[in-house]
Amino acid sequence: MVVFGFAFNPYDKAVFLFLARNGSSIAHVLIIDIKPNVDAAHQLWPRAALATTGSEAAAKSIREWLADSAT
């Protein structure tokens, strides 16, 4: 899953509920945001590998990340 600019704020309750119910099989999440809320994302996808565009883990290009997560 690729997330663009979603703040994971508590008022996004409908989106939180949808993701919590339907996102358990998501294995890789790339958060593209200036100030990514990794803690909230980790609560939604506790077993997923999380990366952000501003982190050391996301130093790879988005193309490489997508290729890695396709497996």
The pLDDT tens digits for 8-30 are 677 777 877 887 788 888 888 88
Number of independent structural domains in the chain? 1
Rg for the chain, CA atoms, rounded: 12
Is the pTM of the predicted complex or chain greater than 0.95?
Answer: no
Collapsing DSSP to helix, strand or coil, 31 comes out as strand
Q: For the segment 31-69, what is each residue's pLDDT rounded down to a tens digit? A: 887 778 888 888 888 888 988 876 555 556 667 767 777
Domain ranges, residue 29: 2-69
DSSP state of 22: H
